[in-house]
Amino acid sequence: MEPTIDNNAAPAKIRVRFAPSPTGFLHIGGARTALFNWMYARSQGGTFILRIEDTDAERSKQEYLEEIMRAMTWLNLSWDEFYKQSERFDIYRKYADQLLAEGKARKEGEAIVLDTEKCWNNLSHKEIKIFDLIRGEIVFDQSFLYRRSEDHKSILMKPDNSGPLLREEVLIKGDGTPSYSFACVIDDHLMEISHVIRGEDHISNTPKQYLIYKALGWKEPKFAHLPLIMDEEGGRMSKRTGATAVSDYQKEGFLPEGIVNYLMLLGWSPGNNQEKVSLDAAVKKFSIKKVNKAGAAFSIEKLTWLNAQYIKEMPVGKLTDLLLPFLKEKGYGENADRKWLEEVVKLYQPRMTILLDFMDWADYLFEPNIKAADEDRAKYLTSDKKEGFRLLAEGLASTSSFDHKATEDVFRGVVAKLGIPAGDLVHPVRIALTGKTVGPGLFETMTVLGKDKTVRRLQQAFS
RNA sequence: GACCCCAUCGUCUAGCCUGGUCAGGACACGAGCUUUUCAAGUUCGGUGCGCGGGUUCAAAUCCCGCUGGGGUCGCCA
């Protein structure tokens, strides 16, 4: 039997946008906003739009625009449509002129401002109700329009004292460019945005924009205001308290999978106690109603842990590929043997949390000479170790094979002969070979360092 | 200051809508195991419903107040 319910009604088209202004690098908070928009679009079979809000010609820079697109691409947040507000000035102008003609706006010098008093009075209700998918209904009375003194402490009254003086919303600025709210409203309407998903800092912009929607005779979209990301102390996220640009994290060797995974967990949870969630899995489970209301503190430690999880499960070949640019930058491993390099990577993979860790730990394999810190030398390379070093160098030099077993056999032989615990020689040798007090197993280390360098560093350890 | 938003371990969160499961998981932290070091891994552990009132047989969950935190108040976006 055919269903009796009419399902022919076209389902509402889901269209969302991420609207950064290219006045700086893509911020970690911006990336999160983009991510939630993206997840919502993908989970609903909707459209994800990237709209560049570059109305401020002074502050907008092409390099930032490119950087934002590069960062989003790196994070795997692909967009379906692309717009730049700077190419749409004539559209905003047209609607401003229309409002002017309708008497809902007026000229203020070169600028055009909305007659908010008239627009407010045109409203059928004496309050503005915004429905927020995350927070429910948010109600504003007229006070959000009140004009205040410089110090914000007192409300300015009309000259005739008949009531509070209302602020006029700038639509077109004195230089002819549109204001943020005006361009935003027009674009969201024209681009048929169904859901405006943005940061909580925009909640108080919403009633102003509502007034513009109504002045234009348009229906407002649905809103969802995401909680803000705070810094580690719960304060406002700023450059002062850590890296804020996505590209900074990329430079340190965070993986896009790790960043995206961490970011999605800030204010949302798949609900099944899972921490490690791929973008695909998140899309399947994502629901905007499950997004938290409270702000979330950014924890570099958890990000780092999550990043380490992705590094650990990565095929060695791929990890090596990712390391290549970092090595190249340092001038390391230009002609390194790929097979050898993968052996080295495999050695450090379990302990890496970010790609840069590898650079800090494996430098001794690429530098011709290494030198441990003086205090470590003084502590470990004591003269009573000289005999052990001599015997070890001698023994290793004469081994035919130089693998884990061979090096260990020689080493065990030496400590047995000297009658000392293995640990007494292990640590000094590690210092001599790597310049570090910590690292992977000593025999693996020797193996990847190679016979020549190992023997030479042992011989020169005390010089 | 006004308006708005928010409130579960130190942090991210599940649970809240549809009151009744020792408030569950993760990061971090501590301890054990492992071990040539540091990590990793593994086992175990402590830590929380901001406060005060209601409603109810019963409140993390519903209501009110307080406190605390955050946001906004630009011809920036």
Instruction: Enter the ipTM.
Output: 0.96
Looking at A300, A330, A345, the residue that finishes a domain is A300
Looking at A226, A251, A268, the residue that finishes a domain is A226
Residues A330, A438, single domain; the answer is no
Nearest-CA residue relative to C1' of B14: A271
The CATH number of residue A341's host domain is 1.10.8.70
Angstrom distance (rounded) from CA A276 to CA A279? 10
Give chain A's domain count.
Answer: 4
Residues A403, A439, single domain; the answer is yes
Outline where A314-385 has alpha helix (H). Answer: 316-330, 338-348, 355-361, 374-380
Residues A346, A432, single domain; the answer is no
Residues A51, A75, single domain; the answer is yes
Active site residue A346: no
Residues A174, A124, single domain; the answer is yes
Order across the sheet with A111-114: list the strands.
Answer: A105-108, A111-114, A169-172
Measure, in angstroms, how far nucleotide B76 C1' is from residue A445 CA.
55
Q: What is the pLDDT along chain A (463 residues), one digit of tens a residue?
A: 333 344 445 557 999 999 999 999 999 999 999 999 999 999 999 999 999 999 999 999 999 999 999 999 999 999 999 999 999 999 999 999 999 999 999 999 999 999 999 999 999 988 999 999 999 999 999 999 999 888 888 889 999 888 899 999 999 999 999 999 999 999 999 999 999 999 999 999 999 999 999 999 999 999 999 999 998 877 777 766 677 899 999 999 999 999 999 999 999 999 889 999 999 999 999 999 999 999 999 999 999 999 999 999 999 999 999 999 999 999 997 788 999 999 999 999 999 999 999 999 999 999 988 888 999 999 999 999 999 999 999 999 999 889 999 999 999 999 999 999 999 999 999 999 999 999 999 999 999 999 999 999 999 988 7
Measure, in angstroms, how far nucleotide B17 C1' is from residue A400 CA.
73
Reported in sequence order, the residue ranges of A164-321 that DSSP labels E, i.e. its strands, are 169-172, 195-199, 222-226, 229-230, 296-297
Give the pLDDT score at A334: 76
Nucleotide closest to A174 measured between CA and C1': B75
Instruction: Tell me if A71 is assigned to some domain.
Output: yes
Q: Among A239, A290, A318, A405, which one carries the catalytic annotation?
A: A239
Nearest-CA residue relative to C1' of B39: A351
Residues A171, A50, single domain; the answer is no
Which two three-digit tokens encode residue A85?
């507000």
Nearest-CA residue relative to C1' of B38: A438
Q: Rg of the Cα trace of chain A?
A: 31
Reported in sequence order, the residue ranges of A11-154 that DSSP labels E, i.e. its strands, are 15-18, 47-52, 81-84, 105-108, 111-114, 128-132, 136-140
Measure, in angstroms, how far nucleotide B14 C1' is from residue A268 CA.
11
Residues A63, A95, single domain; the answer is no
Looking at A209, A226, A243, the residue that finishes a domain is A226
Give the pLDDT score at A120: 96
Residues A72, A106, single domain; the answer is no
Residues A167, A276, single domain; the answer is no
The CATH number of residue A239's host domain is 3.40.50.620
Measure, in angstroms, how far nucleotide B52 C1' is from residue A107 CA.
54
C-alpha closest to that of A208 among A173, A180, A177: A180
Site of tokens 């003609």: A101
Q: What phi and psi, each to the nearest 5 degrees, are found at residue A83?
A: -140, 155
Instruction: Tell me if A310 is assigned to some domain.
Output: no
Nucleotide closest to A237 measured between CA and C1': B70
Give the pLDDT score at A94: 98
Residues A121, A234, single domain; the answer is no
Instruction: Tell me if A10 is assigned to some domain.
Output: no
Angstrom distance (rounded) from CA A262 to CA A197? 19
Nucleotide closest to A58 measured between CA and C1': B76
Instruction: Tell me if A2 is assigned to some domain.
Output: no
Residues A201, A102, single domain; the answer is yes
Instruction: Tell me if A438 is assigned to some domain.
Output: yes
Angstrom distance (rounded) from CA A118 to CA A407? 87
Measure, in angstroms, how far nucleotide B52 C1' is from residue A296 CA.
27
Angstrom distance (rounded) from CA A427 to CA A420? 13
The CATH number of residue A424's host domain is 1.10.10.350
Residues A332, A383, single domain; the answer is no
Q: Pairing state of beta strands A111-114 and A105-108?
A: antiparallel
Give the three-class secondary structure for A48.
Answer: strand
Nucleotide closest to A275 measured between CA and C1': B26
Outline where A286-332 has alpha helix (H). Answer: 300-313, 316-330
Angstrom distance (rounded) from CA A287 to CA A43? 8
Instruction: Tell me if A218 is assigned to some domain.
Output: yes
Give the pLDDT score at A151: 84
Instruction: Tell me if A37 is assigned to some domain.
Output: yes
Residues forming beta bridges with residue A334, ordered by sequence position: none
Nucleotide closest to A309 measured between CA and C1': B40
Nearest-CA residue relative to C1' of B10: A233
Measure, in angstroms, how far nucleotide B56 C1' is from residue A135 CA.
27
Domain span at residue A426 reads 374-459
Nearest-CA residue relative to C1' of B8: A294
Instruction: Tell me if A8 is assigned to some domain.
Output: no
Q: Which nucleotides of B are covered by protein (CB under 7 A)?
A: 1-8, 10-15, 24-28, 36-41, 69-77
